[in-house]
Amino acid sequence: MSQASQNSPSRHAAWPAVCAVVFLAGVAVWVAYALGEDPARAWRALLVNFNFFTPLAAGMVVWPAVVMCARGKWMGPAERIALAGVTFAPVSLAAFVVLWLGREHWATWMHEAGLPNAAWLSDPFLFIRDAAGLVLLWILCLWFVRRRSRPGLFKRGAAVFIAAAGFIVTLLAFDLVMALDPHWSSCLFGAYFFVSGMYGAVAAWTLIVLATRSWEIKDRMADLGKLIVALSLLTTYTMFSQLIVIWYENFPDEVRFVIPRLYQPPWVFVSAGLLAVIYLGPLVLLLTRAAKQSVPYLGAIAGLVLVGLWIERWWEVTPTLGGALELGPVEIALTAAFTAALVLGVGLFHRRMPAGYPREAA
């Protein structure tokens, strides 16, 4: 037996410990900033990562329901990877509790009097409804994962699950992003937030499938690549639909979100980068079938999309809260911690579930 073969089991056994160390180190860096001289930056980083990872992880569980309702038969072993997103529930719930405890640092509406929507933006009403919605979201995800362990289709239940997940994520978008500027309103922002979360979910699903070699035929990679392209177009459409209405109606309550991001440096350059990376980039980069069937290439595009979507969440929050265009230790460390938690949960779920899970429909 070669030395490489002897060391292989130990390397595989070490990855949970590595993920745990990265998670603890990232949390330690965040605590140091939150208790240090720049707590506002630490709270922005936590809010950004909650808004990025929660719709992404829950969206991974929603995707098999979407494929089921569309009568898709292509997922195979890759479905188990998507369902593993449910393991992120404890981290998501814990992050929300911490955000509630530190609400004075980031919930700007708490410091303004006489708001016309003060009844909606009130403490504790906002946090109670969001907490209830978040708990319900993860309960539904767990229910769907458990239900998929039994044979037989249940499309009606899957459709209800998709609708409920969309409603809850939309509520979180209104309360945790749009409410940061209590004078800004947009009817389409919730839909955009949910769709872009599903976009991140399919990109993460693709990247994990490729990393774990959880596919049997090349066509499955092509299907995941097509989903990335489709969601890039749908995300672009919902963003454009939001902007075009603001432009031709000239709504002052909605323009206040657009102007600093599309017309004022340095954020205008971030907006241009997002247009190239997450909105129109996948359409060009994954146009051919060969591109979708190349493991390194498809993995690189999925990773690039995830980075771009994280920056997009940061782009949504930071200008509103008065943050500067800078990415430093606290943002990187906390993002690494959330990533490690997701990877650890997906890996343990994948290893502990039986090879035939979920069983095919009868």
**pLDDT digits 0-9 by tens, 264-295:** 889 999 999 999 999 999 999 998 888 888 88
Contact status, residue 320 vs residue 289, Cβ threshold 8 Å: no
Instruction: Indicate the pLDDT class of residue 356, thresholds 50, 70 and 90.
Output: low
Assess if residue 269 is contained within a domain.
Answer: yes
Assess if residue 85 is contained within a domain.
Answer: yes
Of 97, 111, 108, 107, the residue nearest 50 (C-alpha) = 97
Between 147 and 106, the more confident residue is 106
For 9, 58, 95, 245, 345, the CA distances from 19, given in Å and listed in that order, are 17, 20, 18, 44, 10
> Over the chain, what is the mean pLDDT?
89
Least confident of 20-29, 120-129, 134-143, 342-351: 342-351
In tens, the pLDDT along 109-122 reads 998 888 888 999 99
Instruction: Indicate the pLDDT class of residue 72, thresholds 50, 70 and 90.
Output: confident
Rounded Cα distance between 162 and 100, Å, is 27
In tens, the pLDDT along 234-266 reads 999 999 988 888 777 777 777 888 888 988 889
Percent of the chain beyond pLDDT 90? 64
pLDDT at 11 over 70: no
pLDDT at 361: 43
Domain count, the chain: 1
pLDDT at 9: 47
Assess if residue 5 is contained within a domain.
Answer: no
Assess if residue 8 is contained within a domain.
Answer: no
119: domain range?
14-352
Rounded Cα distance between 342 and 1, Å, is 34
Assess if residue 361 is contained within a domain.
Answer: no
Assess if residue 56 is contained within a domain.
Answer: yes
